[in-house]
Amino acid sequence: MLDIKWIRENPAVLDAALASRSAAPQAEALIALDEARRAHLGRLQEAQERRNAASKEIGNAMRSGDSAKAEALKAEVADIKAFIQGGEAEERRLDNELNDALANIPNLPLPEVPKGKDEHDNVEVRRFGNELIEARKANMPPKPREHYELGEAMALMDFEAAAKISGSRFTVLKGDLARLERSIGQFMLDLHTTEHGYTEVQVPLMVRDNALFGTNQLPKFEEDLFFTPHGETRLGLIPTAEVPLTNLVREQILNQEQLPLRFTALTPCFRSEAGSAGRDTRGMLRQHQFNKVELVSITDADSSLAEHDRMTDCAETVLKKLELPFRTVVLCTGDMGFGARKTYDIEVWLPGQNTYREISSCSVCGDFQARRMDARYRVKDEKGTRFVHTLNGSGTAVGRALIGVLENYQNEDGSVTVPQVLRAYMGGKERIGGR
C-alpha cells in the first residue's frame, strides 16, 4: 500500500508511474478523499475541544449560581456529544473509503524498470545453457516430445484419473515420476538451506483474509483464490507460500540487527486460474494445485535491491545445478505483478515447445507489503521506526522444473535421464522410462 502523505506531495509522480503500468491516474481522487477525511477530523477535534471547554464552563456557572447558563451549556454539550458519536462513525467510513482506494493502487516501478505494455516489452538480461541445447539434440527424437507425451507414454502421468477425481487442471503422478518430482523439491530445499542461508519453515496452507491482504492478493485478486468456510469467516488456500512466510513478521517491530531474515518453504499452492481459459490446457504447466519452493526475504530499506539480485541468483543456481537451459528477463512496467517494484522472471527452455517458459519470478516490493502488514524495524540510536522491505521469489516451481527435466533430458527411446544432482534422491537411478 502506498503512503497517502507521499501521494499528497508527489501527485504527478504517482500518475506518471501508474501510466507506465497502463493504469488510470488516481492522485486527484485520492487527495480529494484524504482532504475530506482530514477536514472531518478537524471538525471532530474542534467539537471535542469545545465539549471539554463547555464542561468546565458548566462547573463555573453552577458554582456562581447561574443555573440558566449551566442548563444551556448542558444542552450544548449534549448536542456536541451526539455530533461526535455520529462523527466517529463518519470518520470510520471515510477512513475505510480511503484505505479501500489505496488498497487497489499497484506498487510503483523503480526508475530502472523498462517501460512497456506487456511481455513483448520485457528485456532479456542473460542466458545460460545454449551449449546444452545443442549437445542434447543428438540424444533426442527429431521432434522432441512435450512433457505430457513423455509422461503418458511411461504410464506415469495420468490426467484422465485426475479429471475423474477433481476435474481439469489436475495431474496424477505415479512411480518414478512421483519420486522425481519429490526429489526435485527436496533438492531445492537442501540447496537453499545449506548453501544459500534460508531457514526452512513449515507453514499453514490456509490463511485468513488479513494475511492475503498483507501480501496484496486481496482485494484485487480474490477471484484467483480458493476459499473454505471457517465458522463465521473463511480461510483461503494459499496461492503461494509467499503469503504465510511474509506474514511471519506482520505487526512486529524488529531490530535492524535481526535483518535480513530469509525463509523458504516447500508447499502445495492452489490457484483458480481465473481468466486462463484455453491457455495451457494440455499437460501440467498451469494447474489448480502444484508444488513450489518459495523464497522470502525481509530486509531494511538500504539492502533490498542487493537482496533482489541475490535471491534471483539463488533461483538461477537451482537451474544451473539441474543443467537446465534458461534465460532471465526483467519485466517491463506493464507486465509486473501488482505488488512489485521490480521483477526478474527466469524462463526455462522447453524443447517440446521450442520456447522458454517462466519457472521463477523474483520481486522486490519495497515497503508496499509492510505497510499492509504493519511490519517495521528499529534502527539503533534512532527515534521511531521504519517499514521493512519484503522480497519474494520462486526457488523454483517444482512442477515446472519437472517439466524442464523431462523435456531437456529426454532420449530417443522415450526414456529420461536423471540429472546428476538428483540421483542420490532417486536411490541412484540414472534413467526412468523407455523401452
Whole-angstrom Cα distance, residue 109 to residue 27?
16
Would you state the pLDDT for residue 48?
Answer: 87
Which residue out of 169, 271, 341, 372 is catalytically annotated?
Answer: 271
Would you state the pLDDT for residue 84?
Answer: 85
Specify whether 400 is catalytic. yes
The H or E element spanning position 124 is: strand 123-128
Q: What is the pLDDT of residues 26-44, one digit of tens each?
A: 999 999 999 999 999 999 8
Which residue out of 57, 76, 323, 358 is catalytically annotated?
Answer: 358
Whole-angstrom Cα distance, residue 303 to residue 391?
11
Specify whether 179 is catalytic. no
Which residue out of 341, 360, 400, 415 is catalytically annotated?
Answer: 400
Would you state the pLDDT for residue 7?
Answer: 97
Would you state the pLDDT for residue 83?
Answer: 85
Q: Per-residue DSSP letters for 205-225?
A: SEE-HHHHHHTT-TTTTGGG-
This prediction has a pTM of 0.92
Would you state the pLDDT for residue 206?
Answer: 98
All cell numbers assigned to 289: 494445485
All cell numbers assigned to 288: 489448480
DSSP bridge pairs for 127: 327
All cell numbers assigned to 165: 477425481
All cell numbers assigned to 359: 519457472
> Which among 258, 186, 69, 243 is positioned nearest to 421, based on CA atoms?
186
Q: Residue 172 burial (CB < 10 Å; 0-12/13-18/19+)?
A: middle
Q: What is the pLDDT of residues 266-290, one digit of tens each?
A: 999 999 986 666 677 788 999 999 9
Whole-angstrom Cα distance, residue 246 to residue 290?
20
Q: How many CB atoms lie within 10 A of CB 154?
A: 19
Which residue out of 286, 357, 371, 431 is catalytically annotated?
Answer: 286
Point out the residues of the chain with pLDDT beneath 70: 274-278, 435
Whole-angstrom Cα distance, residue 366 to residue 359?
23
Would you state the pLDDT for residue 435?
Answer: 66
Q: What is the pLDDT of residues 405-432, one digit of tens each?
A: 999 999 999 999 999 999 999 999 999 9
Specify whether 361 is catalytic. yes
